[in-house]
Structure 1
Amino acid sequence: MTSYEVAVRAEAALGEGPTWDPATGRLIWVDVLGMRVHTYDPSSGRRTIRTTEQHVGAAKPRAGGGLALNLRDGVGLLDPDDTFRWLHHEPVPGRRANDAAVAPDGSLWAGTMRYDEATGGGTLSRLTGAGETRLALPGVTVSNGIGWSPDGRLMYYADTPTRRVDVFDHDTEGIRNRRTLVEIEQDAGFPDGLTVDAEGCVWVALWDGGAVRRYTPSGDLDRVLTLPTPRTTACTFGGPDLTDLYITTARTGLPAPHPVSGSVLVIPGAGKGLPQPAFAG
């Protein structure tokens, strides 16, 4: 078992989407099913919780302050004064938001999935700060982890039920040339959220695998961090030096959750992350 600490003790049904906000020195994460956006300041221990009116798949900092929220019915903007407005409103019965990430150019890539996880019922879309929306990937099932190489020329992506982490060529025109970086073996769980480190390696949280794995850019398994709760959901680097790996977890569907299930875990000094851009909207 990997040595870890409990950064935030919680009982989140579906903790997800950890994001380090360098402007505030805080970790932002969500409880998708609990409809809550959490923040945590490791320097002071201060926490905040904001309840949303819909299931929330991700919350990302905005360049001008506030948050971009990937919600059930679309992407909304929360201003620093707590004013809310829709950037892109597209309710689809039976569908909800899932993971999202901000690209090096400040665009938001937001994923969706069906509540019943029907094959091909989800999407991945790219949104600009002006609200222009382009469908990047139709027909995905559980749109999940998204990340970019240090030079921004590659995008990594996990559609969870495929058991694959795929890689695309990426530029201002979009993504193309999809191919498999790695396929997770049957008994090791499913790829969920991911992050890319300063060396270009991909760290993947494994749902029902109780682990985070690090893969090299060529797809070789480099490191395995084993954890006590099976539903590890996503990971990101944070802290002043971006060397602490924060990992979200879930309790949902576990008949006997581990005491840390639903908490945010941290492995100090696990590696070196990349600064995450804020959404340009």
Structure 2
Amino acid sequence: MNPNNFELVSTQACIVGESPLWSVLQQRWYWVDIPRKTIWSYDPATQSTHSWLCSEMVANIALTTAGTLIAAMESGIFHITLQDGPAVNASLLAALPEAGPGIRFNDGRCDRQGRYWSGTMFMDMAAARDIGNLYRYTTDDGLSVPVVSQLLTQNGLAWSPDGKTMYLSDSHPQRQLIWAFDYDTDSGTPHGQRVFADMTNMAGRPDGAAVDTDGCYWICANDGAAVVRFTPEGKVDRTISLPMKKPAMCSFGGSNLDELMITSINPDPQTPDAWAGQTLIIRPGAQGIAETLFPLDI
């Protein structure tokens, strides 16, 4: 592919674009810019974008059954209602026990049953502090104890089509691993952690991910200017080159769930780079699975 095959969805480049998400009900895309504390949306029918400003950094979002959002932010997990104007109504659902300077949530999404998952990280990656934890949140049980610990830069959360395999990556340069877990769909408990893929000797680090209907795992190769598809056996069978060096996360959507939105990072906004931080849509020849909604009655 070349840049002419990419659909640029906004002229506003992100600093750290993350958490692309397709709403089947609303037929629109959502994503976030973490440092700018911003939630974005894109309506492909009108080719229009809109943004909302949050009170603190929002790392990832998921859709709820109420037509609203659940979001992992700096101080905890919030219920987000998007207003008509540029602001949001945010109410705290669960405080982050380890909240403090330099710590925030990172990657997250719902499992196939609608449980919300998100992990934490220490933002100064040069410090290489493995204090990140992966949490599960439900309205009945609240925020879990750490389910996976000692993470440097948590990323890559995704589930197989049947929900029985959970994927998780650590994108820190000292790790660059993708793990698979057996996943108990009744209790929402991962076990049997094993290395699914080691990207140490590949171009790019494993960042955000998505799964298609064939059970293949698509992951952004941060610093590698590509998105890579792994088979369920952990073998690379496709690599799509991208015009930006640091793609961050990908997600399937569109009316037929055959589009892949890819967000990216602009590490130095003062350095001219036409593609850094841009949000793109490609059609990779695969079909995704609609995100499960988080059950929420309001």
Q: What TM bracket, shorter-length normalisation?
A: over 0.9
Retained in 1: the 8 A contact 2:134–2:148? yes
Task: Give the residue type in structure 2 aligned to 1:167.
Answer: A
Q: Give the Cα–Cα distance (whole angstroms) in 1 for the partners of residues 81 and 117 of structure 2.
A: 19
SS at match of 1:251: coil
Task: Give the residue type in structure 1 aligned to 2:89.
Answer: T
Retained in 2: the 8 A contact 1:194–1:202? yes
Determine if the alignment matches structure 1 residue 240 to structure 2 residue 255.
yes
Q: Which of 133, 141, 158 matches 1:147?
A: 158
SS at match of 1:8: coil
Q: Can you give the 5+ residue segments of structure 1 that lack an aligned partner in the other structure?
A: none
Retained in 1: the 8 A contact 2:62–2:70? yes
Retained in 2: the 8 A contact 1:88–1:131? no
Retained in 2: the 8 A contact 1:106–1:279? yes
Q: Can you give the 5+ residue segments of structure 2 that lack an aligned partner in the other structure?
A: none
**1:78 offset after TM fit, Å?**
1.4
SS at match of 1:252: coil
Q: 1:52 to 1:80 in 2, by over 3 A?
A: closer
Which residue does the alignment assign to 2:123?
Answer: 115
CA RMSD of aligned residues (A): 1.6
Task: Give the residue type in structure 2 aligned to 1:83.
Answer: N
Identity across the alignment (%): 30
Which residue does the alignment assign to 2:221?
Answer: 206
Which residue does the alignment assign to 2:110?
Answer: 102
Task: Give the residue type in structure 2 aligned to 1:22.
Answer: V
**1:130 offset after TM fit, Å?**
3.5
Q: Give the Cα–Cα distance (whole angstroms) in 1 for the partners of residues 112 and 32 of structure 2.
A: 22
SS at match of 1:97: strand
Q: Give the Cα–Cα distance (whole angstroms) in 2 for the partners of residues 224 and 7 of structure 1.
A: 22
Which residue does the alignment assign to 1:52?
Answer: 54
Retained in 1: the 8 A contact 2:52–2:82? no
Q: Deviations over 1:236-262 (max 9, x none)?
A: 111010001110011124773421221
SS at match of 1:188: coil
Q: Give the Cα–Cα distance (whole angstroms) in 1 for the partners of residues 179 and 284 of structure 2.
A: 27
SS at match of 1:79: strand
Determine if the alignment matches structure 1 residue 86 to structure 2 residue 97.
no
Task: Give the residue type in structure 2 aligned to 1:237.
Answer: F
**1:94 offset after TM fit, Å?**
2.1
Q: Deviations over 1:165-184 (max 9, x none)?
A: 11000013300001111111
Retained in 2: the 8 A contact 1:242–1:273? yes
| TM-score, L = length of structure 2 | 0.90
**1:187 offset after TM fit, Å?**
5.1
Which residue does the alignment assign to 2:28?
Answer: 26
Which residue does the alignment assign to 2:135?
Answer: 125
Q: Give the Cα–Cα distance (whole angstroms) in 2 for the partners of residues 236 and 203 of structure 1.
A: 9
Determine if the alignment matches structure 1 residue 252 to structure 2 residue 267.
yes
Q: How many residues align?
A: 281
Determine if the alignment matches structure 1 residue 63 to structure 2 residue 65.
yes
Which residue does the alignment assign to 2:79?
Answer: 77
Task: Identify which range, 195-204 or 54-63, moves more after superposition.
Answer: 54-63
Q: Which of 167, 179, 182 matches 1:169?
A: 182
Task: Give the residue type in structure 1 aligned to 2:291.
Answer: Q
**1:92 offset after TM fit, Å?**
2.7
Q: 1:237 to 1:120 in 2, by over 3 A?
A: same
Displaced runs of 4+ in structure 1, greater than 3 A? 79-83, 253-257
**1:269 offset after TM fit, Å?**
4.9
Q: Give the Cα–Cα distance (whole angstroms) in 1 for the partners of residues 12 and 62 of structure 2.
A: 20
| TM-score, L = length of structure 1 | 0.95
SS at match of 1:186: coil
Map of 1:218-229 to 2, 5 A cutoff?
A: 218-229=233-244
Task: Give the residue type in structure 1 aligned to 2:109.
Answer: A
Task: Give the residue type in structure 1 aligned to 2:81.
Answer: D
Task: Give the residue type in structure 1 aligned to 2:136.
Answer: R
Q: Give the Cα–Cα distance (whole angstroms) in 1 for the partners of residues 66 and 258 of structure 2.
A: 26
Q: Give the Cα–Cα distance (whole angstroms) in 2 for the partners of residues 275 and 59 of structure 1.
A: 15
Q: Give the Cα–Cα distance (whole angstroms) in 2 for the partners of residues 260 and 166 of structure 1.
A: 30
